[in-house]
C-alpha cells in the first residue's frame, strides 16, 4: 500500500474547518467548502490523512476535532513543532495577519513539510509576501497559494481559450467589487494576471469617495490597469455594507464573458450578426450560461495539485503548481503599485 501523505491544518475557522453543517458537512460530499472536508474526502480515497489541527480557541479546537474526527489538536504551531508527529503537507488557514510568522516558524524548524498550502493573499502586505517567498526559496519548500479560481476547471478552460486567441483580441475588462482591494479584489487581480499576460501600468481614478465597507486599512477604491494583452481594465468600487458583489466582465472581439454571482455563474455572449438594422455585428444579451460552478469541489483540486506535484519527482518532470507564492507576489506588487501600503 502506498504511504498516505499526512496533513496538518492551521486555523479552524470558516475556510479551515468550521462552517455550519448546512453548508459543509462530513456526511455530504456534494459541497466541499473547508480544508478539513477536502482532506477527509481524499482520506477516504486513500491519498491523504488528516493527522492534526492547530486552533488557539479551545472551544473551536474541540468542535473541529469532533466534527472531522481528528486525533491531534494543538493550541499553537509551536506545540505541534515540539511533538514527534510529522506532517508532509501543512495548510495555513488562519487570519492573514498570522501567515508570515507561521510560515517562518515552520520553515525555521526541524520539521519542514514537503509543501505548504497557504490561503490567499499570502501574507499581510507586499513586504510579508516577499519574506515568505524568500523563506520558501531558501528552505526549498514550495508554497501553493489558494486563489481558488485557479483550481476551477471552467476558469482554466476560459483562461486557456482567451490566451490562445480563440475569442480574438481582448478589448477590455472590468470588475465590480466590494470589501477592499486586498481582501476581495485580489482574486480578480490574480485572474487578470493569469489571463492577460504582463501587467504594464495602473493608476487610481479618484482619491475621494473611497469606500470603507469592510476594513479601514483596506478601502474599496476605483483603479485603472493596463496589461500586455488587455489594454483597459477598470476596477469599479461598490459599497458592500448592504450587499457584496464580485462580477468580472471581459469583452473580446468574438465574445463577452461575464462571471456573475461571485463567479458561480459564467455567461458567454457570442458576437452575432445584427438582426434588425443591418450589416454589422453585435454582442447580444442572449448567452450560453455555464452553471454549477459553485466552487464545491475546487478545494479537492488544490490538494490533488499538491499530491501530483509531490509524486512527480525524479526523472519525471515536476507537475506544475497551479498557483504559487510568485503569483501571490505579483498580485501584491500591483496592489502596492496602486496605493501606498501600511
Ligand X SMILES: NC(=O)c1ccc[n+]([C@@H]2O[C@H](COP(=O)([O-])OP(=O)(O)OC[C@H]3O[C@@H](n4cnc5c(N)ncnc54)[C@H](O)[C@@H]3O)[C@@H](O)[C@H]2O)c1
Q: Which residues bind ligand X (CB under 6 A)?
A: 10-16, 54-57, 60, 93-96, 98, 119-120, 146, 148
- Shortest spacing between CB 232 and ligand X, in angstroms: 27
24 or 55, CB closer to ligand X?
55
Report the residue number whose CB is nearest to ligand X.
13
222 CB burial (10 A radius; 0-12, 13-18, 19+): middle
73 or 252, CB closer to ligand X?
73
11 or 202, CB closer to ligand X?
11
Are 201 and 192 in contact, with CB atoms under 8 Å apart? no
- Shortest spacing between CB 13 and ligand X, in angstroms: 2
12 or 103, CB closer to ligand X?
12
- Shortest spacing between CB 270 and ligand X, in angstroms: 30
- Shortest spacing between CB 185 and ligand X, in angstroms: 12
For residues 295 and 311, give the distance between their C-alpha atoms in angstroms, rounded to a whole number.
25
- Shortest spacing between CB 81 and ligand X, in angstroms: 12
Q: Is 186 helix (H, G, I), strand (E, B) or coil?
A: helix
47 or 187, CB closer to ligand X?
187
- Pairing verdict, β 89-92 and 211-215: unpaired
Q: Is 54 helix (H, G, I), strand (E, B) or coil?
A: strand
> In sequence order, which residues have a C-beta less than 8 Å from that of residue 339 and are 6 or more positions away?
181, 204, 221
For residues 49 and 57, give the distance between their C-alpha atoms in angstroms, rounded to a whole number.
23
- Shortest spacing between CB 193 and ligand X, in angstroms: 16
What DSSP assignment string belongs to 249-300? EEEESSEEEEEEGGGTEEEEEE-EE-SSS-S-EE--S--EEE---SSSSHHH
Element (H, E) at 132: helix 126-138
83 or 206, CB closer to ligand X?
83
Amino acid at each position: 500500500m502506498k504511504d498516505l501523505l499526512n496533513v496538518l491544518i492551521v486555523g479552524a475557522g470558516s475556510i479551515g474547518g468550521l462552517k455550519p453543517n448546512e453548508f459543509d458537512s462530513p456526511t455530504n460530499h456534494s459541497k466541499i467548502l473547508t480544508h478539513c472536508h477536502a482532506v477527509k474526502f481524499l482520506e477516504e480515497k486513500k491519498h491523504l490523512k488528516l493527522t492534526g489541527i492547530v486552533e488557539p480557541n479551545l472551544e473551536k479546537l474541540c468542535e473541529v476535532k469532533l466534527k472531522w474526527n481528528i486525533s491531534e489538536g494543538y493550541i499553537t504551531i509551536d506545540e505541534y513543532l515540539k511533538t514527534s508527529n510529522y506532517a508532509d503537507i501543512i495548510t495555513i488557514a488562519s487570519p492573514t495577519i498570522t501567515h508570515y510568522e507561521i510560515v517562518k516558524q515552520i520553515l525555521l524548524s526541524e520539521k519542514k513539510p514537503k509543501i505548504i498550502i497557504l490561503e490567499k493573499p499570502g501574507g499581510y502586505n507586499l513586504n510579508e509576501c516577499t519574506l515568505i517567498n524568500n523563506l520558501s526559496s531558501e528552505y526549498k519548500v514550495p508554497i501553493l497559494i489558494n486563489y481558488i479560481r485557479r483550481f476551477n476547471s471552467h476558469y482554466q478552460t476560459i483562461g486557456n481559450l482567451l490566451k490562445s486567441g480563440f475569442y480574438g483580441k481582448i478589448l477590455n475588462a472590468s470588475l465590480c467589487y466590494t470589501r477592499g482591494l486586498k481582501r476581495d479584489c485580489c482574486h480578480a487581480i490574480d485572474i487578470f494576471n493569469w489571463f492577460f499576460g504582463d501587467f504594464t501600468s495602473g493608476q487610481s481614478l479618484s482619491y475621494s469617495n473611497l469606500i470603507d465597507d469592510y476594513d479601514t486599512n483596506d478601502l474599496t477604491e476605483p483603479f485603472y490597469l493596463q496589461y500586455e494583452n488587455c489594454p483597459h481594465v477598470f476596477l469599479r468600487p461598490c459599497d458592500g455594507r448592504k450587499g457584496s458583489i464580485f462580477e468580472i466582465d471581459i469583452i473580446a472581439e468574438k465574445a463577452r464573458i461575464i462571471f456573475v454571482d461571485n463567479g458561480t455563474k459564467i455567461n458567454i455572449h457570442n458576437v452575432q450578426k445584427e438582426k434588425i438594422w443591418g450589416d454589422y455585428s453585435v454582442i447580444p444579451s442572449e448567452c450560453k450560461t455555464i452553471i454549477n460552478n459553485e466552487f464545491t469541489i475546487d478545494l479537492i483540486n488544490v490538494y490533488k495539485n499538491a499530491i501530483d506535484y509531490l509524486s512527480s519527482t525524479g526523472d519525471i518532470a515536476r507537475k506544475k503548481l497551479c498557483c504559487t507564492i510568485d503569483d501571490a507576489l505579483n498580485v501584491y506588487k500591483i496592489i502596492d503599485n496602486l496605493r501606498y501600503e501600511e
